[in-house]
Each structure stands twice: as structure tokens, then as C-alpha cells.
Structure 1
Amino acid sequence: MSWYAIDAVDRAFTRTKKALFEPFDFWKWVKLAIIIFFIGSMGSNYGGSGTHYQPSDNYGNDFPSIEPGDPGDIPDFPSGISGLGLGYIDSVSSLAIIATALVFFILFVLLFSYISSVMEFVFVESLVRNEVRLRAYFKKFMGKGFNLLLIRLALGLIFVILFVLALLPFVPVFLTESSDFKVSALIGGMFWFFGVIILLVLIGSVVSSFLSLAIPLSIYRETGILSAFRMVYRSFRKSWQEVLVYWFIRFLIGIGIAILALILFGLIILASVIIFLIIDGVLYFIFSALVSEPYSWILLIPFVIVEILLVFVTLIFLSVPFAVYLKYHLLSFLEAWFAGANIPFFDEFKGKPEIGTGTEPGDMEQSSMEQYVPEPNGPGSGGPDPSI
């Protein structure tokens, strides 16, 4: 028996080679690197910290005294009110600055998340067509990207609520100061805490995998994300063995790519550090001959920043083949596993999905016929499912 996920390994490698190296197009790589930057750099750790300014004990009392009769004297001004007033104003100003910075940070994260969601569709379309058109594809998928963002935010909120609810039974135990508190309760709470995290991570990984498979279906079946998600779930119920093998193969591929990327990126970083240390050393001696000691270090700062950016851009550029291969493996598996996926690859795959992995038993023949009838103004043939 042939598994679709295993067959997709070679097919994804062939498509990656054709898309990136036959022929090699530098600007195509640059555009793909931009897409991968927005998709890959979005993490869940949006941590931040702010510092509140605390006035000193002598704040307001260390101002020079004003003798009566001076132009700056304020008659009948209560003693010490100046320090309190200025401290209050300073506290309000600090809170306003922190609140403003927090609002801008949240807006930036939302904007970046929206761009990342749109780029998910742009990435799929670029690889399927083997043609990267950032502006055109971005405009095309702005609506779908917004819907994907809303779904991700809703899922994130649900997972946070589930996490909090799972920990609620242990809150009274840790807040109560009692002599009956035992170490066993602490150990049990820790095991429960990590168990909840592991369970939520596994559930989140499954949901994320279904969403990744639903994105191409949403494009080429011309339906909504939720409708495509339901299609993937129905197909999973019919042929869950294929998906389990797919997850296992993806896990092995991920380990292999991680090892290869670690070696490659480590060598790049090591070589860059050696080269840049030599360049910075030469620049330091040149600057030391022209200016004094502190200024020579200050003059080096822009060069160090540029060097760090060069290393970062190089790593993003070199990550293009890995990200492209993983996405082609997903698309190749979906093409073979899901009946009527209607993915119009630049090198059309001739194989047929097994019977029973489509959306509905009654729609199987119709989906198979529609997959060979391209729509004049669309990316592929539309499915019977309504858009949500």
C-alpha cells in the first residue's frame, strides 16, 4: 500500500527544484524570502515590559529656594505642594506614555498578524502557479487573510480560556496559607500544569495542521476558511490513517530540516562573525587614529547594526528552500489525499485520490469532473460548498 505522505516526499522535492533552480531567479527568491519572513517570524511570545518612573525621596525638595520679592515667587502657594503636584503630573505622564506605547504595540502586532495571514494564501498561490506576484496576490487574498486572522484570534482566546479553567482548581490550594499544605500537592499541581500545556499544544498542533490544509482548499474550492476546515475534518474521519502517516512524515522531515538548517546556519554565522570581527578591528584602529576612545566605539555601532542585518537577511534568504519544500509537501499530499482539491499546479499531477477522501459521498463524481474544468476568471474550478 502506498501512502500519500510518503509519495509526496519525492514529488515535493521535484517541484522545489523546478520552482527554485530551473532556472534560478534571484528576485523570485527575494520575494519568497519576504513572504517567509512574514509567515515564519510570527510567534506567540508577544512579551513586553515597561518601567514606571519612581521619583526620589527628595523630589520636589531639591529645587533652589525662591526668596520673597523675587519675580518667580508665587504668593500664598502652600508649602510642599509643588513636589506633590509635579509628582502627580509625572505619574500621569508616565502612565499615558505606557498606555500609548501598549496601544501602538498591540496595533503593530495585529497589523503584522494580518499581513502574516494574507501571506499564507500568497505563499500557496505563488508555489502552485510557480509565479510570485506579491502585490497582485496580496490584494486578491486580503479578505481571506482577514477571516483567517479572526479565526486565529478566536482560537487563541479559546485556548487561553481553557488553560485558565484547567488551572482554577489549584488556585485556592496555592493561595491558602495553611499548615496542611503538603509537598505532594505542589508536585501534583506541577504535573497537572505541564500536562495541561502538553495537551493544549497537541490539540493546537492538530488544529493548526487542519487550518494549513484548509487554506489551499479555501482558495481553489472557492469557499470560506471554516467551510474548508470542515471539508478537511470530514476527510480526516474517512481516512485518518493517511493523516496520521502524514503527521509522522512531517515530524521526521522537520527533524531532518532542523538538523540541516542548524549546521548550515551555524557555519554561516561562524564565518560571518570571523569576517566581521576582522573588518571591525580594522575600522576600530582607523577610528582610534582619528578620534578619541569613546567616539571610536560610537562610530562602530552603525557598522555592527548593518552586519547583524546582513546576517539576518542571509539566514532568511537561505531558509527559502526549506520553507518551500515543506509547503510543497503539504500541497502534494493534499492534492493526492483530498478528492476534488482542484489545485492547478504548474506541473499537473496525474494521480487520483482514493475514493472516500473527498468532501461528501454524493459529491464525489461532481468534484472529480469539476477538477478538470478551469474557471475563466478564477484560480481553479469552484466547489459546490458555499463560502463562509
Structure 2
Amino acid sequence: MDKAFERTKKCLLEPFDFWKWVKLTIIVLLIGGGASFNGGGGNYSFDGSDVPSSQDIPAGISDIFQMISNNIAANASGYIIGAVLLVIILALVLAYISSVMEFVLVESLVSNSVKFWEYSRSFLGKGFGLFLFRLLLGFIYLVLIAIVTLPFIYYLMSQTDAGPGNSLAASIAYLIFLLIFIIFVLVIVGGIIGSFLNLSIPVSLYSGSSIFSAFSMVLKKFGQDWQQIIIYWIGRIVLNIAVAIIVGIVVLIIAAIALMLFLVIDGVLYLVLSALLLGSDLLIWIILAPVIFIQIIVFILAIAFVSMPASIFLKYHMLTFLQMWYSRFEIPMFDQLQDSDTGDTESYL
């Protein structure tokens, strides 16, 4: 932890570089390792008086709205299928970008030099391998869930012909508890596999092997020295809880300040627009909507910016442990290279 903290301080504060923080924040966001955000610049509600009636809308606009509504209703199934496909494609693209950014972040921290586009182009292939690995894991999880739950679902469907009864209710309750147990087990197994996979990323990067080979190497090392990594997992649990509490406090403070500021800005803007656009509530909300959207984006970026150092510290903690645990290959950490250049032979491990 001491070494990880020291490396985090050198990376982020010695010297402080605003644009370096911005690039690291973007990388962490693209990975998906930042905080989860629920909320925005403000919560707004309006009653029925704010919604324009058909008499308030000109005939031409009303006809356009009616035509759009009829078109959507006539092609609802096509739009639904298209939306589902779009969501799936977008999720796959984001998952691939996340996989590439995993290698970009590791290289940025190891070298203490954030070259976003250069590293991104360099790790497109390795990122694709990690993307396929994660996709395969997700498929295996789904297959396991299906194998365990489908027999019970089939049994429940067969019981519906006999009508409702205690046996059916008990079966449903049992199925719910079974699903909860399966999810709990998968979360634990997924966490363990995820830990191995995170350790495999730098192994793959600096040993020149594929992510599949690196994962196999980490598993083999685990078989040889499993006691150390068990202690590492316990320490990571405690460390994650402590970091989450600290980041949560900071996020709450920032969120409270941002919420009050955005409410004041939006309130003043609403009053000004109400005075300028008398009786045009629809137009007021059309103008306010982009402002609120921008505020939500700014809020998310601000929270990600202040919470980014926690992700960097945890990644340095993992890299420092990996150096000590798996010394078969060398991670060219920036501070070791600097000491080598100055002739300092003190071991950092």
C-alpha cells in the first residue's frame, strides 16, 4: 500500500498536470471503473398545466405530430427490434473500447506517460483478445444459469395446467431463492476470475503473450503460491471498502454543491424564459432540456474527475503486488527506471 500510494502521488501530483488528470479520467470512464452515477443536474416535475393542449398547438404542427405517431404505431415491432439491435451493438462496441482501455491504463501508469491515441492504436489487437475472453466468460455464465434454472422453469410451466396451489407457490419461491443463490455464487466466482484477469493484463502486456496464455500463466502461478493471493484478496476487500467510503463522502459533497448550483441556475433561467416567452411552456422546456443535459454531463465528469485517483491507486496496488508475487517477468515501472538512471540500486520490492 505504501508503494502504491507513493506511485500514485508521483503520477498525479509530481508535478500536477491538469490534462493528464483529464486523460486518465476519460480512460477510467471508458473502462467502466469509475463510480456509478444516478442523478443529474436537477429533478424537475410539472403538472398537466405545463403540457400544451391540442388547442395550443398550431394545426400544421398537430398534423405532423399525428403523422409521426401513426408511423411509429404502424412500425412498432420494427422499431423495437432495431432499438434492441442498436443497444446490443453499442454494448459490444463499448465493451471492446473498455478492453482496449485496460491496456492503455496499465501502460500509462507503468510509464507515467499518458499517450491516449498512441497507446489505443498499439493495443487494438490485445484489446480484442481481452474482449473475446470476456465475451466467452459471459456466454459461459449464461449457459450455467440456463442449465440450472431451465429444468425448474419447465416444471413451473407444467404446474400451471393444474391451477394455482401451495406446491406451485412453493416452487416459485424455491426458484427465486435458487436464482439468488446462483447470482451470489456467480458474483464470487466472477470476482475471483476478474482478479485473475486483471493480473493477466500486465502479464500479457509485458511478456508478449496473448491474454489467454497470460491467464493460464497466472493460474499456474496461483497453483504454486496460492497463499499470497488469498491474503491479497482479503486485503483488496478491505481496501476497496475503505476507498469506497472515502470516495463516497467526496462524491456526496460534490453532488450537494453541484445540485444546489444547478438548481439556482435552472431556476433563474426558467424565470427569465417565463418572462420572455409568456404562455409558451413547451418552448421553455425545449430550451431548458439541452441545458439540463449538459449539466448532467458536467456533473458526471466532475464526479469522475475527483474519484479518478482512487482507481489509479487501486491499479498501482495491483501492479505493485504483481511485481512481488510474480517476479518471473519484469514490469518496467517508471520509478525503477528513474532510479536506475541515477545509479540508485535500492530495491523497490
Whether the aligned pair in 2 keeps the contact of 1:42 and 1:116 (CA below 8 Å) is: no
Whether the aligned pair in 1 keeps the contact of 2:34 and 2:304 (CA below 8 Å) is: no
For 1:177-216, what aligned pairs fall within 5 Å after superposition? 177=160, 178=162, 181=167, 183-216=169-202
Matched, 1:226 2:212: yes
Question: Which position in structure 1 is the counterpart of 2:308?
Answer: 320
CA distance in structure 1 between the partners assigned to 2:89 and 2:166 by the alignment: 47
Question: Which position in structure 2 is the counterpart of 1:242?
Answer: 228
AA of the residue aligned to 1:310 = V
Whether the aligned pair in 1 keeps the contact of 2:156 and 2:168 (CA below 8 Å) is: no
TM-score, L = length of structure 1: 0.73
TM-aligned CA distance change 1:289 to 1:188, over 3 Å: closer
CA distance in structure 1 between the partners assigned to 2:204 and 2:9 by the alignment: 26
Question: Which position in structure 1 is the counterpart of 2:261?
Answer: 275
TM-aligned CA distance change 1:239 to 1:41, over 3 Å: closer
Question: Which position in structure 1 is the counterpart of 2:42?
Answer: none
CA distance in structure 2 between the partners assigned to 1:132 and 1:259 by the alignment: 28
Within the candidate set 322, 325, 333, 1:345 is matched to: 333
Question: Which position in structure 2 is the counterpart of 1:34?
Answer: 26
CA distance in structure 2 between the partners assigned to 1:270 and 1:231 by the alignment: 47
TM-aligned CA distance change 1:215 to 1:283, over 3 Å: same
Q: Aligned to 1:347, what secondary structure does the other structure show?
A: helix
Question: Which position in structure 2 is the counterpart of 1:16?
Answer: 8
User: Following TM superposition, by how much is the alpha carbon of 1:351 offset from its aligned partner in structure 2, in angstroms?
Assistant: 5.0
Within the candidate set 237, 242, 248, 1:256 is matched to: 242
CA distance in structure 1 between the partners assigned to 2:140 and 2:301 by the alignment: 35
Q: Aligned to 1:113, what secondary structure does the other structure show?
A: helix
Question: Which position in structure 1 is the counterpart of 2:53?
Answer: none
User: Following TM superposition, by how much is the alpha carbon of 1:288 offset from its aligned partner in structure 2, in angstroms?
Assistant: 2.2
**Identity over aligned pairs, percent:** 40
Larger deviation, residues 99-108 vs 200-209: 99-108
User: Following TM superposition, by how much is the alpha carbon of 1:318 offset from its aligned partner in structure 2, in angstroms?
Assistant: 1.0
TM-aligned CA distance change 1:20 to 1:90, over 3 Å: closer
Matched, 1:133 2:119: no
TM-score, L = length of structure 2: 0.80
TM-aligned CA distance change 1:42 to 1:267, over 3 Å: closer
Whether the aligned pair in 2 keeps the contact of 1:265 and 1:315 (CA below 8 Å) is: yes
Question: Which position in structure 1 is the counterpart of 2:68?
Answer: none
What residue ranges of structure 2 are gaps of 5+ in the alignment? 36-70, 337-345
Q: For each residue in 1:57-110, what CA deviation from the matched residue of structure 2 results, as whole angstroms up to 9, or x when unmatched? A: xxxxxxxxxxxxxxxxxxxxxxxxxxxxxxxx9877333333333322222211
Whether the aligned pair in 1 keeps the contact of 2:103 and 2:202 (CA below 8 Å) is: yes
Q: Aligned to 1:344, what secondary structure does the other structure show?
A: coil
Count how many residue pairs are aligned between Structure 1 and Structure 2.
Answer: 300
CA distance in structure 2 between the partners assigned to 1:192 and 1:185 by the alignment: 10
CA distance in structure 1 between the partners assigned to 2:274 and 2:174 by the alignment: 61
CA distance in structure 1 between the partners assigned to 2:205 and 2:293 by the alignment: 40
Whether the aligned pair in 1 keeps the contact of 2:126 and 2:211 (CA below 8 Å) is: yes
Question: Which position in structure 2 is the counterpart of 1:105?
Answer: 87
For 1:100-179, what aligned pairs fall within 5 Å after superposition? 100-175=82-157, 176-177=159-160, 178=162
Q: For each residue in 1:291-344, what CA deviation from the matched residue of structure 2 results, as whole angstroms up to 9, or x when unmatched? A: 114133433323222222211110111121011001000000000100223100
- Relative to total residues, which structure has the larger helix share, 1 or 2? 2
Matched, 1:288 2:274: yes
Question: Which position in structure 2 is the counterpart of 1:301?
Answer: 289
Runs of 4 or more off by more than 6 Å in structure 1?
A: 89-92
Larger deviation, residues 90-99 vs 286-295: 90-99
Q: Which protein has greater RCO, CA pairs closer than 8 Å, 6+ apart?
A: 2
AA of the residue aligned to 2:319 = L
What residue ranges of structure 1 are gaps of 5+ in the alignment? 1-8, 44-88, 353-388
- Which has the greater radius of gyration? 1
Whether the aligned pair in 1 keeps the contact of 2:30 and 2:101 (CA below 8 Å) is: yes
Q: Aligned to 2:335, what secondary structure does the other structure show?
A: coil
Q: For each residue in 1:160-181, what CA deviation from the matched residue of structure 2 results, as whole angstroms up to 9, or x when unmatched? A: 0001111123123322134572
Whether the aligned pair in 2 keeps the contact of 1:16 and 1:328 (CA below 8 Å) is: yes
CA distance in structure 1 between the partners assigned to 2:177 and 2:286 by the alignment: 50
CA distance in structure 2 between the partners assigned to 1:210 and 1:239 by the alignment: 13
